[in-house]
Amino acid sequence: MVDTALDGDGLADFLRGRRASLQPEDVGLRRGARRRTTGLRREEVAELCDMSADYLARLERGSGSQPSQQMAAAIARGLRLTPDERDHLFLLCGHRLPTRHLREAHISPGLLRVMDRLQDTPAQIVGPVGETLQQTPPAVALLGDETHHTGPARSALYRWFTDPAARHRYLPEDHHQHSRVYVSTLRAGATAQGPGSSAALLAADLQHNEEFAELWNRHEVGLRWSSAKRFVHPQIGRIDVYCQTLLDPDQGQSLLIFTATPGTESHDKLALLTVLGTDTFAGS
222-274 pLDDT per residue, tens: 999 889 999 999 989 999 999 999 988 777 889 999 999 999 999 999 998 88
Q: Quote the pLDDT of residue 23.
A: 84
- Asked if residue 1 belongs to a domain, the reply is no
Amino acid at 59: L
Specify the pTM: 0.76
Task: Report if residue 254 sits inside a domain.
Answer: yes
Among 62, 87, 106, give the residue marking a domain's end.
Answer: 106
Q: How many residues does the chain have?
A: 284
The DSSP 8-state label assigned to residue 174 in this structure reads G
Q: Are residues 96 and 148 in the same domain?
A: no
- At residue 277, the pLDDT reads 66
Confidence of residue 96 (pLDDT cuts 50, 70, 90): confident
> Which of 48, 75, 106 is the last residue before a domain boundary?
106
Tell me the mean pLDDT in the region 135-162.
92
Can you give the CATH number for the domain in which 214 is found? 3.30.450.180
Domain span at 122: 111-281
- Mean pLDDT value across the chain: 88
DSSP category for residue 195: T
Helix axes 69-78, 83-92, angle to 10 degrees: 140
CATH at residue 54: 1.10.260.40
Q: Which residue, 75, 106, 137, sits at the end of a domain?
A: 106
Q: Is there a single domain that holds both residue 268 and residue 131?
A: yes
With b for 16 or more beta-carbon neighbours within 10 A and e for fewer, the 114-150 pattern comes to bbbebeebbbbbbbbbbbbbbbbbbbbbbbbebeebe
What is the distance between the alpha carbons of residues 69 and 75, in angstroms, rounded to a whole number?
10
Task: Say what the pLDDT of residue 278 is.
Answer: 57
Q: Which of 39, 36, 46, 43 is nearest to 24 (CA)?
A: 39
